[in-house]
Amino acid sequence: MTRTSLAPPLLAVAAVLVVTDLVLLDQDRWTVLVSVAATAALLVIARRAGLGAAELGLDRAHLGRGLLWGAVPSAIIAAGLVAAALLPWLESAFADGRTPQDAGEVALKVLVVIPLRTVLLEELAFRGVLWGLLAERRGAPAATYWSSAAFGLWHLPTAFVVLDTNDALDGASGSVLGTLAVVGGIVVATGVAGLLFAELRRRSGSLLAPALVHWTTNAGGTVVGFLLG
């Protein structure tokens, strides 16, 4: 990829992500369709930019490594969530207004909404297309850094939603400093998570590794929140 050909696909990816991020603030299930459509658009952009399956982390030859690199940290995260759920003083951290109150709705969110609305879109966007574009032109370290920074900023609108729905953050929303601290903390935390996900993708060569960890984190938090609710 030449220097002059990098900007158009990056701008196209940014445009798709900005529009999709704003639409996904609506928590209705129909937004799964928006995520799937955005994922398809990103694949078209990647194709036109000349990225192949390997550059996107979709090479079937690396699925085994992806499973291995994803399973170990996923097991650690799952154990950590269980341990955290057993601590009474952390119970409010799992009390999120977005958590369904019905077991069937929880299953739908964990098995359909989170994989399609969140994991598929975000992993392909940030560790697939964006990472692949930047790695090819700037190298893996730069791709990891910038894709992770973008991943953190992607969660900026969501941070304000979390501020209003999570019981543990009730006190923070009452002041400007509290709001800035929480929102900034969420952006930084998700950016750091992006670094971990990108490194898993780099080491395994597969999006399966970060996708497993991503799903375990989100789905595990939802299940624990439901059980404690």
Note the pLDDT tens digit of each residue in 181-222: 888 999 999 999 999 999 999 999 999 999 999 999 999 999
Domain that holds residue 213: 3-228
> Is the model more confident about 3 or about 80?
80
- Residue 2's pLDDT band (cuts 50, 70, 90): very low
Note the pLDDT tens digit of each residue in 135-155: 999 999 999 999 999 999 999
Task: State the pTM of this model.
Answer: 0.91
pLDDT value of residue 173: 59
pLDDT value of residue 190: 97
Count of structural domains, the chain = 1
The pair of three-digit structure tokens given for residue 205, joined into one six-digit string: 């060569």
pLDDT value of residue 63: 96
* Cα–Cα distance, 49 to 100 (Å, whole number): 40
pLDDT value of residue 168: 64
48 C-beta neighbours (distance < 10 Å), count:
12
Task: Please report how many Cα atoms fall inside a 13 Å half-sphere around the Cα of residue 131, on the Cβ side.
Answer: 31
Task: Please report how many Cα atoms fall inside a 13 Å half-sphere around the Cα of residue 70, on the Cβ side.
Answer: 24
Name the least confident of 12-26, 73-87, 103-117, 156-170.
Answer: 156-170
- Residue 174's pLDDT band (cuts 50, 70, 90): low
Q: Nearest-CA neighbor of 147 among 5, 4, 17?
A: 17
